[in-house]
Amino acid sequence: MKNVLICNPNSYDIDIYMPYIYGLLRRMCDVDPYLKEELNWSHPIYLNLTPDKLLKDYDLQSIDVLGLSCYTWNRKLNYKIAECVKKANPSCIIIEGGPEPDSEDHPNAYLNKYSLVDIIVKREADHSLPLIMKEIINQTYEYEKIPGLIVNGFGDTGPVVYNRIYPDSIYIRYEDVYTKIANDLISSKKKPVQLLEGDRGCPYQCAFCNKGGYSYKETTFTPIEAIYQDIDWGGRNQVYYVDIINSNYGRFERDVGIAKKLVETKTKYGHPEIAFYSGAKTHAKEMAKILIELKKGGMLQHHLVALQTTNKAALKAANRINMTHEDYLYLAKISAEYDIPACSQFILGLPGDSYEGTIKSFTDVMDMGLFDNFMLFPYQVLPGSLAYTQDYRDKWELKTVVRHNQRQRRKITQKTDHTSETEYLVGCSTFSKETYIKMWTFSAAILAYVGGNITRFLSSYLRLTHDISYIDFYSSFVEDFLTNPEYTFMSDINEKIYEHQHRFVYGDDVDNSFYEFPHHDMNGFRSMFECDEYILISTLLHFDVFKAEFFRYILSKYSHIENIESILKFQTDLVITQDYNLSKTIYVDRNWVDYFNQAKKNLWVGKLDEPTNERKVYLIKQHYSGPNKEYLLKWNDYEGDKRKFEYIEAVVGTMYKRSDRCIFDINEMVLQ
Ligand code: SF4
* C-alpha of residue 217 to centroid of ligand 1, in Å: 10
The predicted structure's pLDDT at residue 105: 61
Q: List, for residues 321-375, the tens digit of each pLDDT value.
A: 999 999 999 999 999 889 898 999 999 999 999 999 999 999 999 999 888 899 9
Does residue 623 lie within any of the structural domains?
Answer: no
Tell me whether residue 593 is in a domain: no
Using CA positions, which residue lies closest to atom 8 of ligand 1? 212
Reported as a single tens digit per residue, the pLDDT across 469-521 is: 999 999 999 999 999 999 999 999 999 999 999 999 999 999 999 999 999 99
The band of 641, judged by pLDDT with boundaries at 50, 70 and 90, is: very high
Burial 202-236 (b: 16+ CB within 10 A, else e): bebbbbbbbbbbbbbeebbbbeeebbbbbbbbbbb
- H-type alpha helices, 164-216: 170-173, 175-187
- The dihedral region occupied by 639, where left means phi > 0, alpha psi between -120 and 50, and beta the remainder, is beta
Query: 447: CA distance to ligand 1 center in Å?
Result: 24
Does the Cβ of 247 fall within 6 Å of ligand 1?
yes
Query: 108-136, pLDDT tens digit by residue?
Result: 667 777 789 999 998 889 999 999 999 99
CA of 441 to the centre of ligand 1 (A): 27
Does the pLDDT value for residue 215 go beyond 60? no
Q: What is the DSSP annotation of 416-448? A: TTT--EEEEEEEBTTB-HHHHHHHHHHHHHHHH
User: What single DSSP character describes residue 529?
Assistant: B
Strand order in the sheet with 584-588: 584-588, 616-620, 669-671
Average pLDDT over residues 518-525: 96
Domain assignment present for 130: yes
**Domain count within the chain:** 1
Residue 86 lies in a domain: yes
**pLDDT 10s digits, 426-475:** 999 999 999 999 999 999 999 999 999 999 999 999 999 999 999 999 99
Query: Quick check: is 403 in a domain?
Result: no
Q: Check: CB of residue 407 under 8 Å from CB of residue 522.
A: no
Q: How confident is the model at residue 287, as a pLDDT? A: 95
651 within 8 A of 540, measured Cβ to Cβ: yes
Ligand 1 within 6 A of 410 CB? no
> The domain spanning residue 56 has which CATH number?
3.40.50.280
Nearest CA to ligand 1 atom 3: 204
Evaluate whether residue 512 is within a structural domain. Answer: no
Q: Whose CA is nearest to atom 2 of ligand 1?
A: 247
Rounded distance from Cα 387 to ligand 1 centre (Å)? 13
Sequence-separated contacts (24+) of 482-487 with Cβ below 8 Å: 482/441, 482/445, 483/441, 484/553, 487/549, 487/552, 487/553
Ligand 1 pocket test, candidate residues 197, 199, 247, most atoms within 8 A of CB: 247
Assigned domain for 127 exists: yes
Q: Which domain holds residue 97?
A: 2-156
Dihedral sign of CA atoms 419, 530, 401, 379 in order: positive
pTM, to two decimals: 0.91
Q: 7: which strand partners?
A: 45, 68
φ, ψ (nearest 5 deg) of residue 377: -125, 130
Angle at 613 between CA 607 and CA 616, to 5 degrees: 115
Q: Tell me if 401 CB under 6 Å of ligand 1.
A: no
Of ligand 1's listed atoms, the one at least distance from the Cα of 247 is 7
| Rounded CA Rg of the chain | 26
Q: Name the closest-CA residue to atom 6, ligand 1.
A: 212
505 Cβ neighbours under 8 A, 6+ residues apart: 401, 426, 427, 433, 436, 437
Question: Which atom of ligand 1 lies nearest, measured to the CA of 212?
Answer: 5
Tell me the pLDDT tens digit for each residue of 277-289: 999 988 899 999 9
Q: Is residue 124 part of a domain?
A: yes
Pocket of ligand 1, candidates 200, 204, 307: which has the most ligand atoms within 8 Å of its Cβ, to mutate? 204
CA of 321 to the centre of ligand 1 (A): 9
What is the pLDDT, as a whole number, of residue 658?
82
